[in-house]
Amino acid sequence: MEGGAGAVESGERTRIMVGVNESTIKGYPHASISSKGAFDWTLSKIVRSNTSSFTLLFLHVQVPDQDGFDDMDSIYASPDDFKKLNHKNKIKGLHLLEYFVNRCHEIGVPCEAWIKRGDPKEVICHEVNRVQPDLLVVGSRGLGPFQRVFVGTVSEFCAKHAECPVITIKRKVDEAPQDPIDD
């Protein structure tokens, strides 16, 4: 039998990587609307009650410039000051991941979560390559072509370049904030 009916009984868990980021409105430690949407969709449509068959892998990519912006007024006089800054950002990222990890624990889905720094679209594709998940789920603000020119979408890049199947979950219309660029 090609592929085989037995494929359904495959022993190893399905490993789903979910790219998550912080809200542009509320900032850390709040997750963006589209990250939450992608996560909720994955739970309700894919994992469902079959919690023992999946592992969720949460990746948060911190953008160095953007995430350091709050600290622009600080004075950096020594290398230690930068270390402190990195530490502070790391803690912010951890609080963001905490939301997703807590939800998984409540439900009983095994998960892992980690932080990387860099350009989100490139880091996500690099991590897909390294970790080799079965599936990558990314949220999207669902912007129109005009808005996309200015913001560039991580989801579009990943769908094209990630070396695994990718699902893009568009934000629900009723969840979009007043300015659709926000998330």
Q: Which parts of this chain interact with a second copy (CB under 8 A)?
A: 2-5, 7-10, 14, 36-37, 39-41, 43-51, 53, 103, 106-107, 109, 134-135, 159, 165-170
Which helix (H) or strand (E) covers residue 63, if one does?
none
Q: Which residue has the tokens 């990943």?
A: 158
Question: CA gyration radius for the chain?
Answer: 18
Best CA proximity match to 30, nearest among 19, 21, 39, 38: 21
CB nearer a second copy, residue 62 or residue 109 = 109
The DSSP bridge partners found for residue 115 are 60
Q: How far is the CB of 130 from a second copy (least distance, A)?
A: 19
For the record, the structure tokens of 159 come out as 């769908």
Q: How far is the CB of 170 from a second copy (least distance, A)?
A: 8
CB atoms within 10 A of CB 49: 8
Q: How far is the CB of 123 from a second copy (least distance, A)?
A: 22
Q: Are residues 54 and 46 in contact, defined by beta-carbon separation less than 8 angstroms? A: yes
Q: Which residue has the tokens 């020119």?
A: 149
Q: How far is the CB of 88 from a second copy (least distance, A)?
A: 27
Q: How far is the CB of 108 from a second copy (least distance, A)?
A: 9
CB nearer a second copy, residue 36 or residue 121 = 36
CB nearer a second copy, residue 79 or residue 108 = 108
CB nearer a second copy, residue 37 or residue 93 = 37
CB atoms within 10 A of CB 160: 10
Beta strands (DSSP E) in 82-163 are: 111-117, 135-140
CB nearer a second copy, residue 14 or residue 86 = 14
